[in-house]
Amino acid sequence: MISFENVSRKYGPVVAVNGVSLQIDRGEIVGLLGHNGAGKTTLMKMLTGYLEPTSGTIKVADKDVLEDRIGVQRQIGYLPENAPLYPEMLVQEYLFMMTELRGIPADQREAAVAKAASGTGLHGHMVKPISSLSKGYRQRVGIAQAILHDPDVLVLDEPTNGLDPVQIQSIRELIQRLGQNTTIILSTHILQEVEAVCDRVLVMIDGNLAADSPLSALLTSTTVHLAVGEGANVKSVIAELTGVTDVKKLSNANGFDTWAIDVDVPERATSQILSAGMDAGWTIGSVGPENKTLDAVFRQLQADYVAKEAR
């Protein structure tokens, strides 16, 4: 559905996106994650035809963005970070205007507006001025204009930025519903946003694609954490167990040493470690697979990138 091949974008001497290659299949909900200035928005603007890449090729359903920009844009719905709304207009006036701008035939516009309103929960707000809506409902209007033409791809740039917790949850549920029939790229710097709605994660760091992985794989750990009474001969005992690849001491606090044990199969290794510790007479505070978070993964990717750049 979407293909980036060695795509770069430069602003003079500044490299905003550096040699990115990736494929996104139909029906995926993909989170594009990165700090402010990482290159996320530049990548999305190139995909949607608002910026041209300095080099490389971008295709949507085999259409090249450079060769057929309008053809690509017809297949994409785009919600930029600041939704393009006219506060003085009624919701329905704005959406009908957008159907005309999108080239939807006159006899299909009413149905297109009704479908978009239904999909975004706007039916009770169609004759209200946009200026009277809460920020959460203004975001819904922005999403509604992006899906009027039944796009194959929906690009959302920071869709919950500035919303309160209730509004955030509502927009997340809306994105998940839309994702049942549409390929969605969600660009954000909010880690919880990606964990809540995405199947796959792309991580951008300083214009580089630092990670491209299913969310479940990114959060899967092959490390077991063990807290044991200080002074136990953990390394010599645990290193002998089948499937253990490394044993590292992490810290000491409140009379317990904490160890990180890298293993092949965490579920099996946990019971083996517990059994070995009990046989050795250790005082065991806790033992279990590491609970990885996207925040921890992101910080590690950042640290690895900085270390690599320093070499």
Domain edges within the chain: 2-218, 223-291
pLDDT computed for residue 58 by the predictor: 97
Sheet holding 76-79, edge to edge: 76-79, 153-157, 183-188, 29-33, 200-205, 208-214
Distance CA 301, CA 295 (A): 10
pLDDT computed for residue 14 by the predictor: 94
Distance CA 160, CA 138 (A): 11
pLDDT computed for residue 18 by the predictor: 96
Q: Are strands 153-157 and 76-79 parallel, antiparallel or unpaired?
A: parallel
Closest Cα partner for 273 from 237, 245, 248?
A: 237
pLDDT computed for residue 178 by the predictor: 87
Q: What is the full per-residue pLDDT of the chain (311 aa) written as tens digits?
A: 899 999 999 999 999 999 999 999 988 999 999 888 899 989 999 999 999 999 999 999 889 999 999 999 999 999 988 778 999 999 999 999 999 999 999 999 999 999 999 988 898 999 999 999 998 899 999 999 999 999 999 999 888 877 888 888 888 988 898 888 899 999 888 888 899 899 999 999 999 999 999 999 888 889 999 999 988 999 999 999 999 999 999 999 989 999 999 999 888 899 999 999 999 999 999 999 888 889 889 888 988 888 888 77
Distance CA 133, CA 266 (A): 50
Distance CA 117, CA 94 (A): 12
Q: CATH second-level architecture of 223-291?
A: 2-Layer Sandwich (3.30)
Q: CATH second-level architecture of 2-218?
A: 3-Layer(aba) Sandwich (3.40)
Q: Are strands 284-289 and 223-229 parallel, antiparallel or unpaired?
A: antiparallel
| DSSP SS3 for 134 | coil
pLDDT computed for residue 193 by the predictor: 87
To the question of pTM greater than 0.75 for the whole model, the response is yes
pLDDT computed for residue 161 by the predictor: 79
